[in-house]
């Protein structure tokens, strides 16, 4: 079965995740774990990101940003916010997850 036919009954036609969303979630969970979240936290936050993406919400979290340092501070702003708090930041830059 092709991804296209498998996705025929998935988002946006239902609440089920489509192939691209599943792949993105797996990458996010790995990245969030490497950035200090425990597995259950990483999974829960990935779910929140999925809903944010579907709602086309433009807020981002520090844990998704390339400027997040191991210390939890931002290299661009020298500030520390909760890693999983959605907010708008003009210095945000996507951290590309490794596959």
> Do the domain assignments include residue 75?
no
> Which pLDDT score is estimated for 99?
64
Cis peptide before 12 (omega within 30 of 0): yes
> Do the domain assignments include residue 19?
yes
> Which pLDDT score is estimated for 7?
86
Percent of the chain past pLDDT 70, that is, above it, reads 91
In the predicted structure, residue 78 carries a pLDDT above the cut 70:
no
Q: How many structural domains are present in the chain? A: 1
pLDDT tens digit string along 27-58?
999 999 999 999 999 999 999 999 999 999 99
> Do the domain assignments include residue 7?
yes
> Do the domain assignments include residue 50?
yes
Distant-in-sequence, close-in-space partners of 98: CB < 8 Å, separation ≥ 6:
27, 30, 31
For residue 9, the enclosing domain spans 3-57
CA geometry: angle 76, 40, 57, nearest 5 deg: 50
Give me the chain's average pLDDT, please.
89
> Do the domain assignments include residue 71?
no
> Which pLDDT score is estimated for 52?
97
């Amino acid at each position: 079965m092709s991804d296209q036919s498998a996705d025929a009954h998935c988002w946006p036609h239902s609440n089920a995740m489509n192939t691209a969303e599943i792949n993105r979630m797996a990458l996010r969970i790995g990245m969030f774990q490497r950035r200090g979240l425990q597995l259950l936290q990483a999974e829960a936050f990935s779910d929140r990101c999925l809903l944010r993406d579907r709602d086309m919400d433009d807020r981002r979290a520090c844990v998704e940003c390339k400027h997040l340092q191991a210390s939890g501070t931002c290299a661009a702003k020298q500030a520390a916010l909760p890693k999983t708090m959605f907010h708008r930041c003009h210095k945000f830059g996507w951290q590309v997850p490794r596959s």
